Amino acid sequence: METLVRMSNLKKYFQTSSGMVHAVDGINMEIKKGSTLGVVGESGCGKSTLGRLLVRLLEPTGGEAYFNDQNIFALNKAETKKFRQKMQMIFQDPYASLNPRMTISQTIAQPMKINKIYDNNKDILLRVEELMETVGLAPRYENSYPHELDGGRRQRIGIARALSLNPEFIVCDEPVSALDVSIQAQILNLMMDLQDKMGLTYMFITHNLSVVKHISDEIAVMYLGQCVEKCESKELFKNPLHPYTQALLNAIPTPVLKGGRDRKIIKGEITSPIDPKPGCRFAPRCPYVQEGCTKGEVEFKEVSKGHFVQCILY
């Protein structure tokens, strides 16, 4: 499959009074055209920051990101505006990401007006009606405001707005985490149907492994700004290699009528993301820690076809 998005040693640090927070630290990944890359990890691991870097809502501290072999961060202001038509984002909070003073039709139409996609308002309104039908919003909501709708419908508005410029790539930043389970399934199925119909490519950010298993072709596991494991979705659940990935999968709730199962509880202190020392950042919590884990940087390497891991055990 053709590579659509490629990241090379991508970094984003934030200055604090205590030092530099390494939010994203040396990410090397590829996303295939027409596929979904799921990005998982606990809160604060840098998932959302990575997504915001790719759509250039944040500027990188170092490294590069390419879209169709074009360096995203080398674009000037005019080129960036044109580029953003190809890459869009669906935000986590379906209420905070919408303007409360704009109706649903105004919200969906705004990107088309800013980018001058159509010459007249009639064509814009026809496109708004088409997008509302595509994402499952009834025409009667056209003049409603966000506060008048539930979470599921608000998120459908966010999806329609992201689709309004006919993008090739969409960063989905935990788009279902604020929704009820039944609504989550509807939104996930909608996004998968849209991907099949329009040939979209997704980066799907979440902390829910059950969700990412349902929608992703490949999964990348992040820990404290670094990608510690990446492979196909089925391979990750069948053969997790990194101790952190194993602990994450072990933490998935499983209904058991009698007895239970042994759980691998992660112990130890979380490494500070502020100016971290060289070596594996999971080492203080790892049950298999060795002397070499803290000697220097651990290589992110391919241990089998398409299966990458950052661990000296392999």
- Digit-by-digit pLDDT tens for the chain (314 residues) are 799 999 999 999 999 999 999 999 999 999 999 999 999 998 889 999 999 999 999 999 999 999 999 999 999 988 988 888 999 999 888 888 899 999 999 999 999 999 988 888 899 999 999 999 989 889 999 999 999 998 888 988 999 999 999 999 999 998 888 777 878 888 888 899 999 999 999 999 998 888 888 899 999 999 999 999 999 999 999 999 999 999 888 887 777 766 666 666 778 788 888 998 888 999 888 888 888 888 888 889 999 999 999 998 88
Angle CA 173–116–48, to nearest 5: 10
pLDDT number for residue 150:
87
Tokens of 117: 């996609």
pLDDT number for residue 290:
86
pTM of the model: 0.90
Helix (H, G, I), strand (E, B) or coil at 130: helix
Distances (CA, A) of 246 to 41, 47, 211, 260: 12, 19, 17, 18
Full set of structural domains in the chain with CATH: 3-86+169-182+193-309 (3.40.50.300), 102-166 (no CATH)
Strand stretches in the chain, DSSP E: 3-16, 19-32, 36-40, 62-67, 70-71, 87-90, 169-173, 201-205, 218-223, 226-232, 301-304, 307-309
CA separation for the pair 148, 173 (Å, rounded): 23
